[in-house]
Amino acid sequence: MDSDISRGGNTLYFLMKKSFFVVIALFVLMAAYYFYREFGGNVNLEFRLEQRSFQILGEPFKGPYDSPRLENIFFRAKELSDSLGSSLVVVNYGSDEDAETVNQFIGFLKVDNDIIPEGYTLEIFEPPFTITTTIGEHNAFMPKPETVSAMAADFAAENGKTLGPVSIEIYRSDRELIVYFLTE
């Protein structure tokens, strides 16, 4: 009889332990979902067709993603854009090379002054149209660039346009990125 009681006690203990882990797992899942939604995850992208030109002051870079030079260019542009009240801009020229190489122009939107920082050049882009979307997710939850590009290409085709190889990313904040895909 004592063995029946101890078996019942072990079963009860096992069920309580299992229930505790289920409750903890549900709590963790709910917390993860809350933070995912809070930081903008799972937001549908809306695209629009626009006519816009861009004047960008910056510095070109072609090389590997993990280059210290790329990092230096990026942070210098970020610092200058903040100090001038502008927005950080990354122009992607598209690359026929391997996925480890980028071809970019990194800088900021030209503001109403004649200041051109040392080492910077002015690039002007006047595409016929842009396919534009705003991504409001936190950087950790932003969709992959390939996904956004594919969605933009679909939107362009639906509107009788063709995407060119150039895209322009304007970083308004860590939670707002505007991407312009230039059409041909």
Q: What is the pLDDT of residues 83-139, one digit of tens each?
A: 988 999 999 998 666 677 899 999 999 987 778 889 999 999 999 999 999 998 767
- Cβ atoms within 10 Å of 168's Cβ, excluding its own: 23
What gap in Å lies between CA 150 and CA 98, rounded to an integer?
19
The one-letter amino acid code at 96 reads: D
Contact present, 145 and 134 (Cβ < 8 Å): no
Radius of gyration of the chain (CA): 25
Model pTM score: 0.77
What gap in Å lies between CA 80 and CA 41, rounded to an integer?
30
What gap in Å lies between CA 4 and CA 8, rounded to an integer?
6
What gap in Å lies between CA 93 and CA 24, rounded to an integer?
47
Residue written as token pair 């996925």: 99
- Cβ atoms within 10 Å of 77's Cβ, excluding its own: 25
Per residue, what are the HEC states of 121-183? EEEEECCCCEEEEEECCCHHHCCCHHHHHHHHHHHHHHCCCCEEEEEEEEEEECCEEEEEEEE
Beta strands in 3-100 (DSSP E): 47-50, 54-64, 88-92
What gap in Å lies between CA 45 and CA 154, rounded to an integer?
12
Q: What is the pLDDT of residues 5-63, one digit of tens each?
A: 455 567 767 767 777 777 776 776 776 566 555 554 555 789 999 999 999 999 999 99
